[in-house]
Amino acid sequence: MSSIAPESPAAERGGVLVVIPCLNEQAHIETVLRGLAAEAHRTPMRIVVADGGSTDGSRAIVERIAARDSRVILLDNPKRIQSAGVNQAARLYGAGFAFLLRVDAHARYPNRFCERLLAIRAKTAADSVVVAMRAVGRTCFERAAAAAQNSLLGNGGSAHRNHGAGRWVEHGHHALFRLDAFLAVDGYDESFSHNEDVELDLRLRERDFRIYLAGGPSIDYFPRGNPLALYRQYSRIGRGRARNVFKHRRHAKARHLVLAAVAPILLLALLAPVSTAFAAPSAAWALLCLGYGATIGLRLRDRCATAAGVAAMAMQAGWSFGFLAGVAQWLRARAAARRAQPAPAILREASDERAA
């Protein structure tokens, strides 16, 4: 059971604080805001766009909409990252609201999204209602990336990537929170630029807050537009996953251990001039990805989706190198902390005697 009592009727009427972290989302932010504004006529809400320093025209779009709609607020997020933007908005504008809805600017939401989540929360009494996410591409490469992300090849069987009946879960794509539950665990850890959602869900569960994966409303997510951008994104996600493992002392899941092996086998291939056997593991990995990706494309009857294996390779390699970089960073920090600790008294005495 949650450590916070169920809301009173007055709190249920407190409305929803919607927070949209944003950084250079000119192509999507107006559509997202218009969809929310349509709901705001039926559900009391305040919509805060926490902008991390956009330079592409996103701010001008939000300012124009805010000038016509007092419910929309543009908030500067000097720390730039999503976790900090959501926390800042919750602290500054959360008073009087019962719920917090996190909305991503780089996505498409179904009609009456907030209302449907509120109905699910009322039925389940969940402290957090998370949603399923489906990747949707527009360009040829985005369609390949989407096909990979929607498959076992790219999502490893994550609950919120495999839509089904509503159920209680450990983690999902963040959407609706009870604001008091969010604040009770101090919101997101702002030292996380990625994987902050997984980290927060770990702390929510440690406090016995319950997370429910909605079986109805899901969102459409737009993947990165090229392999390098995809690699960089997943590298940051992998680094964040490593930080989660060490911060919470939780064992990585089997799919994470498999992904972590990708970077070592790619590095092993550098020894191919010594013996071609060193290249065999990476060649097998590449062939598996490319073959699986081609199968996905044929099943979807989408020529672009046949390149899902290429996108998956960028994702998996990025995640793996990022994860290992996170492990190395933790080991360095641990070694530095040990060096900074004072030596035990008996060792200090022995050192003093040798010096004398």
Q: Can you give the pLDDT of all 356 residues of the chain as single tens digits?
A: 444 433 333 334 569 999 999 999 998 999 999 999 888 888 899 999 999 999 999 999 999 999 999 999 999 999 999 999 999 999 999 999 999 999 999 889 998 999 999 999 999 999 999 999 889 998 999 999 999 999 888 766 565 555 656 899 999 899 999 999 999 999 999 988 888 999 999 999 999 999 999 987 789 988 999 999 999 999 999 999 998 888 887 666 778 888 999 999 999 999 999 999 999 999 999 999 999 999 999 999 999 999 999 999 999 999 999 999 999 998 898 888 888 877 555 544 544 544 44
> What's the pLDDT score for residue 255?
80
In this predicted structure, what is the pLDDT of residue 178? Answer: 97
Alpha helices in the chain (DSSP H): 9-12, 29-40, 58-68, 82-93, 113-124, 140-149, 152-155, 179-184, 196-206, 227-248, 254-260, 262-268, 280-300, 308-340, 345-355
- How confident is the model at residue 11, as a pLDDT? 36
- State the pTM of this model: 0.83
CA of 2: how far to CAs of 14, 87, 120, 135, 182, in Å? Answer: 19, 21, 17, 32, 12
Q: Where in the chain is the domain with CATH 3.90.550.10?
A: 13-223
Do 12 and 41 form a contact (C-beta atoms < 8 A)?
A: no
Q: Does residue 221 contact residue 267 with C-beta atoms inside 8 Å?
A: no
* pLDDT of amino acid 347: 43
- What's the number of CA atoms in the CB half-sphere (13 Å) around residue 2? 20
User: Helix 140-149 crosses helix 308-340 at what angle (to 10 degrees)?
Assistant: 60
For residue 319, the model assigns a pLDDT of 96
Region at 125 (left for phi over 0; alpha for psi -120 to 50; beta for the rest):
left
Which CATH architecture describes the domain 13-223?
Alpha-Beta Complex (3.90)
CA distances from 322 to 135, 203, 234, 317 (A): 22, 23, 7, 8
- In the chain, the largest separation of any two C-alpha atoms, in whole Å, equals 82
- pLDDT number for residue 254: 77
**Interhelix angle 227-248/308-340, nearest 10 degrees:** 40
- Alpha-carbon span 196 to 177, nearest angstrom: 15
